[in-house]
């Protein structure tokens, strides 16, 4: 079988599909990627990538800071998702023409994959790298839901496609999470919960001998929040410096923070270091949350944008962590919250339950099984 993976130029959306692609290739299938360049090639590290749009036009760093609530949602749809789809469609068309896939596997934010597959009557599968949309977050806001529907209808009309919601394949939606984290989903439909698909990260040097044996608490805001996160990371340094019973590790990509009491590095081999930790402070990026819970560790989450607020809510509801205000949290708030998740065993127990659900869901093996069983 030939699978075309259509993705946006976003690390967290490409990462789970890297692992799925490797599994498919290992089973003898032919896999190609399609997305805005050069970022898609950089993120996939794959041999065959078809260009679909200019990644520089859709870099996360270009997003205005401080957007919250409906303003953030409005920007996401009007200035990012819809223009991204329009920009990607010609490249996806060329990729389908050249590669001749049997199935298009499209990230939930890469609508171009659904548009082109529907127009060519190809089977298409949704990759839901995050659970944001699965619980129908706009169900209680019918006017906003209607506005989103209108934007989608505009896309379908422009590209001469007659199909349903571009976020949801009618045949298969791979959800890289589990109900233990999301909570019950009202309309499961074509959703298959496979748990996280954690692909190996590029090698990163790390001085393991700098870990001193105390319980390790990691603070990281991912790779796309360096400038925006400086204040919060600085507060994390102060908070962890005031906790002599733990060792603090703060990931500062900008290399601007200094401390005699906290280990500060620009990058870490995150999955490996997380496995050595006792708790993680983060922004609620799906990959970081998944890696942490896959290790059975509690979280402290300070969401910044997009789906991160919902993930923080899910983690709290599951009992596996606590939430902070990214723009307001001070060192004492962070210190108290970290202390609570470390000292109350209920948080670690809840994280362990989520970890067990991840293991039972099957991960990349289950995802590949579902793809192979899709009628063609």
Contact in structure between 309 and 130 (CB atoms under 8 Å): no
pLDDT digit string, tens, across residues 97-145: 999 999 999 999 999 999 999 999 999 999 998 877 776 655 556 788 8
Contacts of 174 (CB under 8 A, 6+ apart): 20, 105, 125, 126, 127, 128, 192, 194, 367, 370, 371
Bridge partners of residue 322, in order along the sequence:
300
Q: State how far the Cα of 157 lies from the Cα of 153, in Å rounded to an integer.
A: 6
Q: Which CATH superfamily is domain 2-129+134-167 in?
A: Glycogen Phosphorylase B; (3.40.50.2000)
Q: What are 183-187's contacts with CB under 8 Å, separation 24+?
A: 183/135, 183/314, 183/317, 183/318, 185/134, 185/135, 186/135, 186/136, 187/136
- Provide the 10 A C-beta neighbour count for residue 219: 28
Question: Which CATH entry fits the domain spanning 208-359: 3.40.190.10, 3.30.310.80, 3.30.230.10, 3.40.50.2000?
Answer: 3.40.50.2000
Q: What is the CA radius of gyration of the chain?
A: 20
Q: Where are the domains of the chain?
A: 2-129+134-167, 208-359
The strand order across the sheet containing 30-37 reads 49-54, 30-37, 2-6, 103-107, 124-128, 173-175, 191-193
pLDDT (tens digit, 0 to 9) for every residue of the chain, 376 residues total? 999 999 999 888 998 999 999 999 999 999 999 999 999 999 998 779 999 999 988 876 666 666 566 677 788 888 899 999 999 999 999 999 999 999 999 999 999 999 999 999 999 999 998 877 776 655 556 788 888 899 989 999 999 998 888 999 999 999 999 999 988 876 667 899 999 988 776 678 888 999 999 999 999 997 655 567 789 999 999 999 999 999 999 999 888 899 999 999 999 998 899 999 999 999 998 889 999 999 999 999 999 877 788 899 999 999 999 999 998 999 999 999 999 999 999 999 999 999 999 999 999 999 999 999 987 6
Using DSSP bridges, classify how beta strands 103-107 and 173-175 pair: parallel, antiparallel or unpaired.
unpaired
Contacts of 238 (CB under 8 A, 6+ apart): 331
Q: State how far the Cα of 320 lies from the Cα of 163, in Å rounded to an integer.
A: 39
What's the chain's average pLDDT?
90
pLDDT digit string, tens, across residues 288-320: 999 999 999 999 999 987 778 889 999 999 999
Are 2-129+134-167 and 208-359 the same fold in CATH? yes
């Amino acid at each position: 079988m030939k699978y075309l993976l259509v993705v946006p130029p976003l690390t967290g959306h490409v990462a789970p599909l890297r692992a799925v692609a490797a599994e498919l290739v290992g089973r003898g299938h032919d896999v190609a990627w399609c997305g805005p360049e050069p970022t898609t090639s950089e993120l996939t590290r794959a041999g065959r990538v078809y260009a679909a749009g200019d990644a520089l036009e859709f870099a996360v760093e270009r997003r205005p800071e401080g957007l919250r609530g409906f303003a953030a949602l409005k920007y996401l749809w009007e200035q990012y998702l819809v223009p991204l789809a329009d920009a990607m469609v010609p490249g996806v068309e060329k990729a389908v023409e050249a590669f001749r896939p049997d199935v298009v596997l499209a990230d939930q934010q890469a609508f171009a994959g659904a548009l082109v597959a529907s127009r060519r009557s190809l089977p298409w599968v949704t990759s839901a790298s995050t659970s944001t949309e699965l619980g129908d977050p706009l169900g209680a806001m019918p006017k906003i839901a209607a506005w989103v529907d209108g934007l989608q209808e505009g896309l379908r009309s422009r590209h001469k496609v007659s199909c349903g919601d571009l976020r949801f394949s009618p045949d298969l939606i791979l959800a890289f999470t589990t109900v233990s984290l999301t909570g019950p989903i009202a309309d499961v439909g074509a959703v298959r919960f496979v748990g996280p698909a954690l692909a190996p990260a590029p090698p990163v040097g790390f001085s393991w001998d700098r870990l001193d044996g105390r319980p390790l608490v990691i603070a990281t805001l991912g790779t796309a929040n360096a400038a925006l996160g400086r204040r919060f990371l600085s507060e994390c340094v102060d908070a962890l410096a005031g906790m002599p019973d733990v060792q603090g590790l703060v990931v500062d990509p900008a290399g601007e923070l200094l401390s005699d009491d906290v280990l500060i590095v620009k990058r870490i081999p995150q999955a490996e270091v997380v496995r050595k930790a006792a708790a993680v402070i983060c922004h609620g990026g799906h990959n970081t949350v998944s890696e942490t819970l896959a290790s059975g560790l509690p979280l402290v989450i300070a969401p910044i944008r997009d789906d991160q607020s919902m993930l923080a809510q899910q983690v709290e509801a599951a009992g596996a962590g606590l939430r902070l205000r990214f723009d307001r949290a001070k060192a004492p708030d962070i210190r108290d919250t970290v202390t609570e998740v470390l000292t109350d065993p209920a948080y670690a127990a809840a994280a362990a339950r989520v970890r067990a659900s991840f293991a039972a869901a099957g991960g990349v093996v289950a995802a590949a099984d579902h793809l192979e069983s899709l009628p063609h």
